Chain A
Amino acid sequence: MSDSIPQHAAYDSKIEGNIIFTKADSAINWMRKNSLWPMPMGLACCAIELMGAGASRFDIARFGAEVMRFSPRQSDVMIVAGTVTYKMALAVKRVWDQMPEPKWCIAMGACASSGGMYRSYAVLQGIDNLIPVDVYVSGCPPRPEALLEGLMRLQDKISKEESARAHFQTTATA
């Protein structure tokens, strides 16, 4: 395989600067996972802990995720933080549909994961009935450190994706 990759002759790092050879998958995944902009779907009490994770003590900015713009068009990961009632469920789905690919979802807390303590006529029993969830963070509410652990698990998941394949498809397989 090494003979099909063109080798540069006489590469001098002092002249040509810092150049790294890597796989497209690794580079794309590294960029994506270290700049996950959240779409905070803060519906209930978990939103307070989400705000705590974004504040200075627990600092979600360390992971590149401090850009919590409430615009789905500009976000990568939707953090569903709180109880999803049936009345709100289709609005959450509409916001999810507006997010461009690639997108991920973190279900934060018991209510978003499974309906939580609310086994009732008004509460959707888990947002995974409507949208595909990548990481479930348990807790009522989860501590900010738990949410950051969930974010790190999502980063691990993203680092294993085959991102380049979607872009470099030949016409035979398209």
Chain B
Amino acid sequence: MGGSPPVSPPSGPSGGERRRDELAAAPPFLTWRAIYAIVIGALAVEVVVFAALTAALR
């Protein structure tokens, strides 16, 4: 990083190893891909339902 850290980084027992573990951590339920699919799928369903409502109530 170009500049020095402005304040001390949070203390922890781990350092770089813990950071790598954190970055690769799995979610507490399902998988990341499944969670992303749920979020994007919910958007798709909402758009379809809203488009149908718009057409039906015109």
- The finding on whether chains A and B are genuine partners in a shared complex, rather than unrelated, reads no
* A contact residues vs B (CB 8 Å cutoff): none
